[in-house]
Amino acid sequence: MKFPRVTFLPPVLALGLALGFSSLVAQATGTVTGQVVNAETGQPLSEVQMVVVGTNIGSLSNEAGRFLITRVPEGQREIRAVILGYAQQVMAITVTAGQTTVVDFQLNPTAIALEALIVTSPTGREQRARELGTKVAQLEVAKINPAPINTLGDVLGGRSAGVVMQAVSGTAGSSQRIRIRGANSLSLGNEPLVFLDGVQINNQIGGALGSGGVVVSRLNDLNPNEIENIEVVKGPAASALYGTAAANGVILITSKRGRPGSTQWSAWAETGTIEDVAQYPTNWESYSIADASAPMFNANGLLNSTAYPSCPNRSAAAGTCTQDGTLTFNTLRDSRTTPFSTGNRSRYGASVRGGTEQVRYFVSGQMEDEEGVVYFNTLDKLNLRANLDAALAETVDLSVSFGYTNSSLGLNNNDNSIFSPIINGLIGRAYYIPPVEGEFPEGVPNDDNYNWGFNLYELENLVNYQDVDRMTLSSNVGWRPLSWLTLTANGGVDLTNNFDYNTLQPNKLPIAESYTKGFRNSERETRYLYSATFSGVSTFQLMDDLVSTTTVGFQYDQNQQKNTTCYGSSLVPGTASCGTTSALFSVDEDYFEIRTVGGYLQQELGWRDKTFLALGLRGDDNSAFGADFGFVYYPSASLSWVVAEEDWFPELDWMSNLRLRTAYGTSGLRPGMRDAVTLYTPTTVATAGGDAPGVALSNTGNTQLKPERSTEYEFGFDAGFLQERLGVEFTFFNKKSEDALINRLLAPSLGLTANVFDNLGSIRNRGTELLVNAEVVRMDDVGLSLGFTNTTLENEVLDLGEGVEDIIFNRGSQRHAEGYSAGGFWQRAVTYDDADGNGKLTNAEVTLGADPEYIGPSLPEWQRTLFADLRILDWVTISTLFEGRGGHYTGNETEAFRCGVYATRGCSAVGNPNATLQEQAAYIADRYLGSGALYIEKADFWKWREVSVSFEMPSFLTQYAQRLDGLRITLAGRNLATWTDYTGIDPEGVEGGGGQNFSQSEFNTQPPVRYFTLRLDYSF
């Protein structure tokens, strides 16, 4: 491994040169103060950004709408007021040295967010949306919180065009899969880069030990109640300044901060239920009657196979038996055998914020407890946060953020595990088998689950635990030595300690020797993410109509990971340590480290506050690059033009605003830590003198290995109609990723390993994003807002490299093939013909095509959301969200698996005499002929994702009881209904929790569950 070389001009030196060209003559200054209110209601507006145009000087309005700006250079100045949801206002004033100038603002609401303040660069500098040629999504989490938000991932789902948040599993504590504008990499991860308060944080997705594929995400360690807003920087055109990790997009999270004014206390309590509402398939078994006088079931409750032998559909089709009767039973839905119960969750928390103009603070704490629909699937979590902002001097500001998470997660087995409750239910009997008296301990929940291979009491003995201790610390110092210059230093660390473990006591799962003897399995992982950014921003008003902003910065990131694992079998009863095992003992230790150094420069010009041009360049070196590969550069450019504000633009009654924008940019993805290096493993070598230690080649490195490089251009417009009551945002994007890592085969004659990573491939994502916001009703007593998003995506593998064959995965059903969607589904075509017309198929009546054929993409080609907010009398709010996706396919591996387990009973294709011909053909083709094409299904769906009803304490009551001011009660539901033609359990489910890049199959996966919650918020 190599370490990055710093080969660019340090920003401190660059800024020093810039200062050398300027006269550092002290300038006389004055003070500006005033108030900002809503122009329609007269209510004060807090958190309004007040800026002296052409400088880096500004402040925020407080809860009374008051603001104070000090050290404003004397002379003719313009003050700009900006806040999301309102049109900006600019006021011209004259500042007199040593005097205070008063100016008030009245802002008008708007449906088009041109004045939203957005952070798009590592400097943390805020820019107005109107200045950006890219489209950045902004989510105000504080306004979303009344909705049924259980994790931070829920905040992102369905709320931004171009962002797909796939709820891949309903297991408590499991992760979601995040994709922004498609998937860029065939070999590396496709998850976005995430920052919290300016510091990169761990959003790793990983599996828990032995859980059958369930994965968890560190993103969900965060508490949504601590978050102020989230910005989604969607593609390389916007994320170019973030460099060699940002091709998948960047998520910028800002936690809540203190505000000047009176102390504000908030407390909340939430309780709710969790239900599994999936339509699980029924188990079937058809039989012949050989002896009608014999009892159907024996003393053990099993079918008398001698008198009532099984007669599956294939046998009936061949004429070897007659189906005289059919048994059916739904193990997962019958109240006597279901493993599912009503789960529950609760959250309790409190926060306090306040301060003065000099010192502001925010402190928060929350406890969370959840029991899933499988009762030993549990999550307990504690979140703490403390943020402090201080004005150390008139020109120096300090911000410090501290967050802590402690959690304990217990996971039942799921997906591809013989100990999964879902698997055991789906391959259960087609009739109810009463339990043997005295077989189960008295009072054990669901102790009647004898229809399975295991009962729930036995499965409870194998719970996979993950304990997490996590601390995130960041600090930011800003210094404004001159009115046009701001220097910023930001740094911090995200420290995560994971402890994954499971213990099986001897003789608790009687299945195989390795289980009857018990075992202990554990893994401890410590991960450090260090971040440091140093930057300088200079702003000059070059002419009356021209403002120049120059940004220079330096960034350093270091990712360290230390793992220790152990496993042992033959466990001493009653113990839980690898040290008390006596067989199959193994131990391992790993250390990973990746470092990145980068520098960036951006020049922006704003002309008449209507046209904005930006040119940028980022350069990086990374320790994961090949030793012979040097620095990589990422250019960017953007243009924004608020054309509707031009004097020549016609005044139209139906159009109130129009902005045109376009952008171009490049960013990258670094290789894996060990992809570029040659590695050896220890081995034993037999010599004449006995065994001797030696090494064997385990990985062939590539000294020329470089990052994957994604280049994107986008263009679009933002338009306001009907006096700003209707806002429309549209974007077209085209993103091409080149130098994609491909695991290329090596010739055996080379004497190396079988594969080596090389930069050979390319992949393209292009599509459109549409957002429509409409204020249908805007009255004093009633308000109704409606919204709609539509995203389209076309994904294609352009090149795999010369001589590289299709990359096949997911049981052979998916592949990366040139000219087709990445991870697309391929299978040999299946045709069938019931030649004799008896409604039953034999093997001979099912035919396969000669070669695999392309079926369709695994990535959704469209995503749409519908949302609405209804306000009544300022004390009732009703919100709802519907989400749909389609144009893609998924593998119904759940049905393929259960049909393939038993030849005489199980799925409808085997035992249901009225099974469709397609069901029978799918079963025959998959089990006997070698094609699962008919188990690959369209995965289009619509879901009623959220609904909430909030009741605020009305003012006519709070005037008599002041302490009731700020009381809100919210009833909410999540995952309320699904509409789909998919025949499996749930089209959104993904085997393995979505931890793999492109695998898109449901395999006995716990589907998303339904939540109902009651929440009480009280602030004073």
CB atoms within 10 A of CB 994: 27
| Dist CA 929 CA 927 (whole Å) | 6
Q: Would you list the DSSP string of 328-351?
A: EE-TTTSTTT-S---EEEEEEEEE
Look at 126-140, 279-293, 573-587, 636-650 and tell me which has the smallest mean pLDDT: 126-140
What does pTM read for this prediction?
0.89
Q: Say whether pLDDT at 443 is over 50.
A: no
- 756, 779 contact by CB (below 8 A): no
Q: What is the DSSP letter of 154?
A: H
H or E segment at 50? strand 49-52
Mean pLDDT in the chain? 87
CB atoms within 10 A of CB 305: 12
Residue 12 binned pLDDT confidence (cut-offs 50, 70, 90) = very low
Residue 312 binned pLDDT confidence (cut-offs 50, 70, 90) = very high
Q: Say whether pLDDT at 424 is over 90.
A: no
Mean pLDDT throughout 507-512?
77
> Residue 382 corresponds to which amino acid?
L
Residue 932 binned pLDDT confidence (cut-offs 50, 70, 90) = very high
| Dist CA 181 CA 228 (whole Å) | 24
What would the pLDDT profile of 880-898 be if each residue is shown by its tens digit?
Answer: 999 999 999 999 999 999 9
Copy the structure tokens of residue 34.
Answer: 């005033």
- 989, 1008 contact by CB (below 8 A): yes
Hey, which residues does 872 pair with through a beta bridge?
782, 876
Q: Say whether pLDDT at 9 is over 60.
A: no
Mean pLDDT throughout 562-590?
92
What would the pLDDT profile of 26-44 be if each residue is shown by its tens digit?
Answer: 468 889 999 999 988 888 9
What would the pLDDT profile of 76-135 be if each residue is shown by its tens digit?
Answer: 888 989 887 788 888 999 998 889 999 999 988 876 777 777 877 787 888 888 889 998
Copy the structure tokens of residue 600.
Answer: 């960036």
| Dist CA 472 CA 496 (whole Å) | 8
What would the pLDDT profile of 940-995 be if each residue is shown by its tens digit?
Answer: 999 999 999 999 887 666 666 566 668 899 999 999 999 999 999 999 988 865 55
- Which pLDDT does position 275 carry in this prediction? 95
Residue 738 phi/psi, 5° resolution? -120, 170
| Dist CA 231 CA 155 (whole Å) | 11
| Dist CA 392 CA 792 (whole Å) | 49
C-alpha pair distances (Å), 248 with each of 156, 252, 864: 15, 13, 21
| Dist CA 245 CA 236 (whole Å) | 10
- 617, 636 contact by CB (below 8 A): yes
The SS3 of residue 897 is helix
Copy the structure tokens of residue 767.
Answer: 């599509």
C-alpha pair distances (Å), 630 with each of 313, 552, 761, 835: 65, 21, 20, 67
What would the pLDDT profile of 522-544 be if each residue is shown by its tens digit?
Answer: 999 999 999 999 999 999 888 88
Of 789, 791, 733, nearest to 764 by C-alpha is: 733
